[in-house]
Amino acid sequence: MEFNDQQDREEIYSKPVRAGKRTYFFDVKSTKGEDLYLTITESKKRFREDGTFFYEKHKIFLYKEDFDKFSEGLNEAVDFILKNNRNPSNVSANESYSEPVEAKNNDWSNIEFEDLDK
């Protein structure tokens, strides 16, 4: 695949998905080496005190070597939600992990959210 300029090389495909007050963008982009990767952007309209608005954005970069594991994790989480379709306020932290989780022999397998900012 040949790219004519920097713009063509970077963005290959974009799929916006509107979901309530948020919009998700699934953008396929290319590195300089022409490897494809995915960015997932959540965009939400926010308002300042003066009434003007801006878009708050959160972005995830997902590279092809991680697609299988990411997809597997996402599918497992969605399946859990669909199987346990209960009011989240009625589910305790212990109940939310009631299905056994296979531990892997990796240093990152027991990461807590609190550890991410270290």
Mean pLDDT of the chain: 78
16 within some domain:
yes
109 within some domain:
no
- pLDDT level of residue 40 (50, 70, 90 thresholds): very high
11 within some domain:
yes
Residue matched to tokens 């799929």: 15
70 within some domain:
yes
pLDDT in tens, 67-107: 999 999 999 999 999 999 876 665 555 554 444 445 444 44
Domain count, the chain: 1
115 within some domain:
no
pLDDT in tens, 16-26: 999 999 999 99
Q: Which domain holds residue 25?
A: 6-101
| Model confidence, pTM | 0.61
46 within some domain:
yes
The answer, yes or no, to whether residue 66 has pLDDT greater than 60, is yes
The residue with greater pLDDT, 12 or 113, is 12
Q: What is the pLDDT of residue 91?
A: 55
- pLDDT level of residue 30 (50, 70, 90 thresholds): very high
106 within some domain:
no
Please name every residue paired with 106 in a beta bridge, in sequence order, or none if there are none. none
Let me know the angle formed at the C-alpha of 115 by 112 and 118, rounded to the nearest 5 degrees. 170
113 within some domain:
no
Task: Find the CATH number of the domain harbouring 56.
Answer: 3.10.450.700
Alpha-carbon distance of 5 to 114, in angstroms, equals 42
Task: Identify each DSSP E strand in 1-118 by its residue range.
Answer: 11-19, 22-30, 36-47, 53-63
